[in-house]
Amino acid sequence: MKRRFWSVCLALALCWTLLPAPALAADVAPNELWVGGTNVVQGGYWTTNADGSLTASDNSHYNVYYDGNGNLWLDNANIVGQGVGTLDNHGFTGIYAYYTEQTETDIALTIHLTGDNSVSNGYPIYVAPWGGSASLTITGPGSLTATGTVGGNGGIFVRGDTSSLTIENGADVTVNSARSSAVTIVAHNEGTGTLTVDNATLRAYGYVIDDPDDPYGICFSYRGSSSNIVDGSRALRVSGNSIIHTNYMQATYSELYISAATESGGIVFDGSEGTVYGDVALQEDLTIGADETLTIPATASLTIPSGVTLTNNGTVTNGGTLTNSGTIDNYGNVTGNGITGTPINHKVTDVSLDKTSLALDVGGTAQLTATVQPEEATNKNVTWTSGAPTVATVDNTGKVTAHSAGTAAITVTTADGAHTAQCTVTVTAPVTPEEPVTPPSDDSEPTYSPSLDVGDGGTVQVNPRTPEAGEEVTLTVTPDEGYAVEEVSVTDRDGDEVEVTDNGDGTYTFEQPRGRVTIEVTFRETVPAMPFADVPEDHWARDAIAWAYENGYVSGTSAAAFSPGASISRQQVWMILARLSGGAPADMAAARAWAVESGISDGTAPGGAVTRQQLAALLFRFAQSQGMDVSVGEDTNILSYPDAFDAAEYAVPALQWACGAGVLYGTSDGRLDPQGTATRAQFAVMLERFWR
């Protein structure tokens, strides 16, 4: 969440310089506190090393500070459990707080966050006394990512007779587990287990090895000799407009009670089912996925303030009150009670044409009609373009006019979302008579009108149009821009070739035989002169670079250099893909917005270099967004590459598709090289294979 109150950050920074106030101390501090393999229970300052361990420091430079009294500060710290043998099976825990005495001792730990922090390995955070109660508080305004590895048993683990976890004050906490629940709260005997999220964000994603189809993001567990647990002993409390997102919540031996504070509540997504608790005002933009549902019960209300956007790709069910003073971009369904305030912006999801192909004679016209979906879309404005204006043009109403023989793609593009549809227009020249246009007479020679067969890419003029036998006929061949003459041939009525002379000035001549002839002219696309001195004739990617440059997809790093071996950035790929979709982003920021809205990228690290697997993923998502068939790679086996296991899990489907579709091939040494940086030359080649 974007609840970053910088005044609070400055106040905290000042406190750290002067030492934290005693008022922050917990009632009962742990007598063992291990952080990154170091026992910090005596208090002090430390910096984090590259391997996640700690090195003692002072208050002038540190990532970790402990006051010796239950308060631990993290400031852009990266902590990794180091395998301390004295901690039994918890030796790889990142932060381990406990009480070694075998007594009923309550312990409490508060973790203060500034900046972006991470804790990983085994249990990332484990708080448990020998006996008694356990309390863990994580307070903002910073963020924390806790990642449990396969060797551990979860993410954040709090265990005691009474156990509580509180996330508050703008903290943004993400917890991932490789083998168990992400957040586990264990209460002994008849004790209570409570999770409180107040003015904060919690994302908890678990993975249970023995039940992978039913993972536990948040788990309230019971341990003890009795199962007679009082009602309400397992409770989730949400307030301060907080948001919780977990793949599954469960509670053993008793029901899980979810409640909201009276003055404000929050939103809880349990898997794909989201529910509003209490009165919630969104503090930042919220997107509801295509498979997600957000329900506003009769007792709850949801307010979208000015400047905040709710994007709905799934279903919003309003049984209470929905007030919109900001923006609701709706691609899905909104049902139930009406909406107070600003109306819903029904976003365009698709556009279609009443015809996908047209056949016209030169000079003919036809009307195309576009249908924008959904019917209730707010902005139904469209633009019309022709891919070959010399062949056919289209006006702003969709009226098509044919000008010359050939084919032209007429494209309609929605103003909202840049969705497109196309119609292929085929234009033919008027049919010439089969017989001589001038009948023979006693005192004149017959004349013969030729049959013209002219391919796409230019025009042909014949002079004279109806020659006599033995007369010299001149053909004036005019290629369109970007085309050149490939072949000119003339055959007589028996199919025999007639000799044609190339005059070298765009004209061709032949002697008219007796009877009608057939004139065939074909054209080829020309490749512009390569302006880049660093892409020689024998460069392996020259043809692809020339194609991409000719079509305006790429440009040089200077007027005379392409830099084929340099890396390509994420924002450059966004811009090119946006153009391929039919859009015309004004700048890199607009291209980034398009990529995020289209689901192609999360928009992070715009200037970062793209790896081969990231480039495959971007092209794969673009193909999906354009409705292309990406099933070709589903059965592709990339394990033939020796480094296939170097690929990230998210990139495997994209790499399978790219290899199966012939977009991506292995390197010259037979590797897939998924982690390798994609060069500008590699991108041009992959783009040509993908788009052509």
pLDDT along the chain (692 residues), means of 10: 32 34 52 90 94 91 93 95 57 81 80 94 85 90 86 78 92 87 83 89 79 72 56 76 88 72 82 91 91 91 92 91 90 87 87 91 90 89 91 92 92 92 89 52 73 87 90 90 86 91 90 91 75 83 83 78 85 86 81 88 84 90 86 76 84 86 84 89 85 73
* Cis before 374? omega within 30: yes
Cα–Cα distance measured from residue 495 to residue 587, given in angstroms and rounded to the nearest whole number: 57
CA separation (Å) from 96 to 31, 80, 156, 210? 11, 11, 10, 26
Q: Report the distance separating Cα 464 and Cα 583, nearest Å.
A: 47
Q: What is the pLDDT of residue 1?
A: 39
pLDDT of residue 84: 55
Sheet containing 501-502: order of strands = 458-463, 472-479, 507-511, 501-502
Contact 282, 274 (CB under 8 A): no
The two structure tokens encoding residue 100: 């070694």
pLDDT of residue 91: 58
The pLDDT assigned to 143 comes to 95
Predicted pLDDT at 224: 58
Q: Is 52 left (phi over 0), alpha (psi -120 to 50) or beta?
A: left
| The amino acid at 417 | G
Per-residue pLDDT, 231: 42
Kindly give the pairing relationship between strand 156-160 and strand 125-131. parallel
- Count of CB atoms situated within 10 Å of the CB of 619: 27
> Taking CA 129 as the corner, what is the angle to CA 124 and CA 133, rounded to the nearest 5 degrees?
105
pLDDT at residue 103, rounded to an integer:
64
Phi-psi group of 406: left, alpha or beta (phi > 0 → left; psi -120 to 50 → alpha; rest → beta): left
pLDDT value of position 11: 32
The per-residue pLDDT for 649 is 85
**DSSP structural state of residue 640:** G
Task: Determine the pLDDT at residue 112.
Answer: 97
How big is the chain by its Cα radius of gyration, in Å? 35
pLDDT of residue 540: 84
In the block, tokens 């007589």 appear at: 492
- Taking each helix axis from N to C terminus, what angle separates 612-625 and 652-660, rounded to the nearest 10 degrees? 80
Give the whole-angstrom CA distance, residue 480 versus residue 493. 30
**Structure tokens given for 302:** 């949801």
Strands (E), 504-595: 507-511, 518-525
Tokens for 636, please give them.
């592709």
Helix axes 570-580, 612-625, angle to 10 degrees: 30
How many Cβ atoms are within 10 Å of 159's Cβ, its own excluded? 20
pLDDT of amino acid 455: 84
**Separation between Cα atoms, residue 582 and residue 396, nearest integer Å:** 16
Confidence (pTM): 0.56
